Amino acid sequence: MKSPNYTAAQVAQIVDQYQAGQDIDMIADGIGKSVRSVRSKLVREGVYVAKPKTGSKKVLGPTKKELLKDLEQTGVDVEGLEGATKEAISRLLVHFAN
C-alpha cells in the first residue's frame, strides 16, 4: 500500500502556516516538499487563494474589431486590414473622418 505524501500533522501545519500569511516557498522548504506540491495540497484542502496575475496592462479603448467596424462605416473597404495595428486603423479613421 502506498504511503500518503502528507501526514495529517503536515497538512495541519501547512494550512496553519499558509493562513497565517507565511510564503509558500518557506512552507515548502520547512517540510522538504516542492512549492508545486505544497500549493497543490493547499488547493485540494480548499485554502489556497491564487495571487492576481501581473502581466501586461490591457489598453483601454475600442478593440481592433470595433475600429474596423467604424472605418467600414466611413465607406472604406476594410477587407485585408485585419492584420493592421490599432494605431494604423485609428490613423485611417482620422483621415477618412475629415
* pLDDT tens column, 22-79: 999 999 999 999 999 999 999 999 999 887 777 766 667 888 889 889 888 888 888 8
Asked if the structure places residue 2 within a domain, the reply is no
Across the range 12-19, mean pLDDT stands at 95
Is 31 a member of any domain? Answer: yes
Look up the domain containing 14 and give its range.
8-44
3-state class (DSSP) for residue 90: helix
Query: Number of folded domains in the chain?
Result: 2
Mean pLDDT of 85-94: 88
The 3-state secondary structure of 36-71, one letter per residue = HHHHHHHHHCCCCCCCCCCCCCCCCCCCHHHHHHHH
pLDDT of residue 95: 84
Q: Is residue 13 part of a domain?
A: yes
Radius of gyration of the chain (CA): 26
Q: Is position 39 within any domain?
A: yes
Query: With a threshold of 0.85, does the pTM exceed it?
Result: no
Q: Is residue 53 part of a domain?
A: no
Helices then strands, each counted (H, E), the chain: 5, 0
pLDDT for position 77: 87
